[in-house]
């Protein structure tokens, strides 16, 4: 008689939140508790991990309020001790990594996941980290079956799902040429971010040369074919009359992440196959990606007033000039409120400030009503579509909502997702029900206008 093949034992936890004691981490715990052991939720067991068990226990207490905290295990794991991170990977199906700046602390976690086959999602917004991890660990992660997806927070899921939602509004033969996203942050109180994000942004600015160096050292990725001419550069400060906002280019991760998804899509026009996908899923995935129409994509930070945009530029100039040398960085880190004009604070925003903030992300697309006619290089777009995403505060409400929904999809539909690899969120979660899930959790997707442009 043949011996029955025994399956490897399932790890004790569905997911582990690493860095749960951090400012964002504790909001991620709060969001995760909403789905723990709820009927129909795939989340049956979680653990919190980090280097300081006392801080982790406090985070759990805070996240459980007004209830008493449930019995959730706390695991000790320190980024500086790779064996503790590898051990963590054997305890769970999935790690949600909230330990940043990722350029300083992220690599040991990605390395351990790629080696052990554990799945990994994070809330990183640092392009150089994401591209470096892709270069170093993509092959390894594909072999072991570890799905490593960075930027599963406000950076960069609204941008990714936002352009896909927008793209679907261009019904053939119409095609977009350029989609510009305008991000506007609103609040009745102050808009404040925690020091962790500020530190990550400054380290990004000060290491911009490393990203260029990394790109030069890699083979060029495929570029999508976009109908029509390259859009004109436009002014540094734009007054977008359509949506009543002033705007300036935002050097965030969003457009880089969208470009990575577009490059993967150009190389795989029907998306990436799932590890054990059903025939029904194959048709859904292929139909989804067939509807996507690539366009030139950029993101701008917007304000209702010109003064608001001048304030953004002032903070950008402080970071750009001072972030390049050690003394300048010391000043930026020592006086975050001063150099960010009050947008970042060492101890982060109050709960009330978090509750009262919201975001709107407008996608203004210009293109052609008949893509078959787009032959002349200097042809002007004759059609415009405006769509909008709207939701709660970006860093500590929207980011945990997105991260948790990505995690729940991963836990419930793993067989439909790629076997492994280091990938951007759009190419992994685009064809899933992530958009509907976000809509159920307070993030709206709307079509605002479709109109012909004057000749
Ligand atoms: N995608 C988005 O839109 C988005 C939104 C929010 C935040 N973020 C990013 O998330 C990251 C965290 O931000 P934050 O404001 O939450 O920062 P934070 O409050 O400083 O939290 C950092 C976390 O990392 C942990 N940590 C640091 N060193 C560690 C080590 N050696 N071993 C294990 N854990 C370690 C800290 O543990 P201790 O408590 O023990 O110090 C803490 O839990 C930043 O990179 C930020 O940019 C992204």
Pocket probe mutation, ligand 1, options 49, 99, 127, max atoms within 8 Å of Cβ: 99
Q: Is the pLDDT of residue 454 over 90?
A: no
| d(CA 320, ligand 1 centre) in Å | 23
- The radius of gyration computed from the CA coordinates of the chain, to the nearest angstrom, equals 22
* Torsion sign across C-alpha atoms 164, 168, 173, 176: negative
- Do 309 and 448 lie in a common domain? yes
| d(CA 153, ligand 1 centre) in Å | 13
Residue pLDDT, tens place only, 49-93: 999 999 999 999 999 999 999 999 999 999 999 999 999 999 999
- Do 20 and 93 lie in a common domain? yes
Domain limit, last residue, from 108, 126, 149? 149
- Do 113 and 172 lie in a common domain? no
- Do 180 and 312 lie in a common domain? yes
The alpha carbon of 363 is separated from its chain's Cα centroid by a whole number of angstroms, namely 17
Range of the domain at 98: 13-149
Rounded alpha-carbon distances, angstroms, from residue 31 to 28, 199, 307, 398, 403: 5, 24, 36, 10, 9
Is residue 420 in some structural domain?
A: no
- Do 238 and 385 lie in a common domain? yes
What is the number of alpha carbons within 13 Å of residue 208 lying toward its C-beta? 13
Return all residues near 375 (Cβ < 8 A) that are at least 6 apart: none
Q: Whose CA is nearest to atom 33 of ligand 1?
A: 78
Domain limit, last residue, from 116, 149, 182? 149
Q: Whose CA is nearest to atom 48 of ligand 1?
A: 123
Ligand 1 atom nearest to CA at 100: 45
pLDDT of residue 219: 87
Pocket of ligand 1 (CB under 6 A): 19, 21-25, 50-52, 55, 78-80, 98-102, 105, 123, 125, 153-155, 194, 196-197, 200, 395, 399
Domain tally, the chain:
2
pTM of the model: 0.95
| d(CA 413, ligand 1 centre) in Å | 28
- Range scoring the smallest mean pLDDT among 97-111, 317-331, 413-427: 317-331
**Assigned token pair, 319:** 């970071």
Tell me what the pLDDT averaged over the chain comes to: 94
| d(CA 119, ligand 1 centre) in Å | 19
Q: What is the mean pLDDT of residues 117-130?
A: 96
Region for 15 from its dihedrals, namely left if φ exceeds 0, alpha if ψ lies in -120 to 50, beta otherwise: beta
Residue pLDDT, tens place only, 168-202: 999 999 999 999 999 999 998 989 999 999 999 99
Pocket probe mutation, ligand 1, options 192, 197, 203, max atoms within 8 Å of Cβ: 197
Distance separating alpha carbons of residues 312 and 122, to the nearest angstrom: 27
The alpha carbon of 82 is separated from its chain's Cα centroid by a whole number of angstroms, namely 25
Residue pLDDT, tens place only, 294-340: 999 999 999 999 999 999 999 999 999 999 899 999 999 999 999 99
Domain limit, last residue, from 118, 149, 180? 149
> Per 3-state DSSP, what percentage of the chain is helix, strand, and coil (rounded to 5)?
45, 20, 35
Is residue 426 in some structural domain?
A: no
The alpha carbon of 79 is separated from its chain's Cα centroid by a whole number of angstroms, namely 22
Q: Whose CA is nearest to atom 13 of ligand 1?
A: 196
Q: Are 395 and 193 in contact (CB under 8 A)?
A: yes
Give Dmax over CA atoms of the chain in angstroms: 80
- Do 89 and 171 lie in a common domain? no
| d(CA 100, ligand 1 centre) in Å | 4
Q: What is the mean pLDDT of residues 432-443?
A: 98
- Do 126 and 172 lie in a common domain? no
Q: Is the pLDDT of residue 2 over 60?
A: no
Ligand 1 atom nearest to CA at 56: 39
- Do 109 and 245 lie in a common domain? no
Is residue 286 in some structural domain?
A: yes
pLDDT band, very low/low/confident/very high, at 432 (cuts 50, 70, 90):
very high
Ligand 1 atom nearest to CA at 78: 32
- Do 82 and 183 lie in a common domain? no
């Amino acid at each position: 008689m043949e011996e029955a093949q025994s399956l490897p034992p399932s790890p004790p936890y569905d997911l582990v939140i690493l860095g749960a004691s951090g400012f964002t981490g504790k909001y991620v715990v709060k969001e995760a508790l909403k789905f723990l052991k709820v009927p129909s939720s795939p989340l049956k067991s979680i653990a919190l991990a980090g280097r300081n068990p006392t801080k982790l226990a406090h985070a759990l207490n805070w996240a459980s309020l007004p209830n008493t905290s449930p019995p959730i295990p706390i695991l000790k794991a320190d980024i500086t001790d790779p064996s503790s991170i590898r051990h963590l990977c054997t305890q769970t199906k999935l790690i949600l990594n909230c330990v940043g700046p990722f350029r300083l602390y992220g690599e040991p976690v990605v390395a351990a996941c790629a080696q052990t086959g554990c799945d990994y999602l994070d809330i990183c917004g640092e392009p150089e980290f994401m591209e470096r991890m892709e270069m170093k660990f993509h092959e390894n992660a594909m072999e072991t079956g570890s799905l490593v997806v960075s930027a599963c927070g406000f950076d960069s899921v609204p941008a990714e799902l936002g352009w896909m939602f927008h793209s679907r509004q261009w019904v053939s033969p119409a095609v977009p040429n350029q989609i510009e996203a305008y991000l506007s942050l609103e609040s009745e109180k102050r808009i404040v971010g925690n020091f962790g994000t500020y530190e990550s942004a400054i380290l990004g600015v000060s290491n911009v040369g490393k990203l260029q160096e990394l790109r030069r050292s890699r083979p060029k990725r495929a570029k999508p074919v976009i109908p029509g001419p390259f859009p004109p550069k436009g002014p540094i400060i734009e007054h977008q009359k359509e949506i009543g906002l002033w705007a300036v280019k935002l050097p965030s991760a969003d457009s880089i992440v969208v470009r990575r998804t577009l490059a993967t899509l150009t190389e795989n026009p029907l998306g990436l196959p799932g590890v054990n996908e059903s025939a029904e899923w194959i048709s859904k995935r292929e139909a989804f990606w067939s509807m996507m129409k690539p366009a030139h994509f950029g993101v701008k930070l917007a304000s209702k007033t010109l003064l608001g945009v001048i304030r953004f530029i002032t903070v950008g100039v402080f970071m750009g000039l001072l972030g390049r040398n050690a003394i300048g960085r010391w000043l930026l880190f020592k006086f975050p409120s001063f150099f960010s004009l009050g947008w970042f604070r060492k101890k982060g925003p109050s709960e009330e400030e978090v509750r009262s903030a919201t975001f709107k992300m407008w996608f203004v697309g210009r293109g052609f009503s008949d893509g078959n006619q787009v032959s002349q290089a200097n042809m002007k777009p004759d059609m415009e579509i405006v769509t909008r995403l709207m939701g709660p505060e970006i860093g500590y409400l929207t980011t945990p909502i997105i991260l948790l929904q990505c995690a729940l999809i991963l836990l419930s539909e793993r067989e439909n997702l790629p076997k492994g690899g280091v990938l951007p969120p759009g190419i992994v979660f685009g064809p899933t029900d992530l958009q509907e899930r976000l809509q159920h959790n307070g993030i709206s997707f709307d079509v605002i206008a479709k109109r012909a442009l004057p000749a």
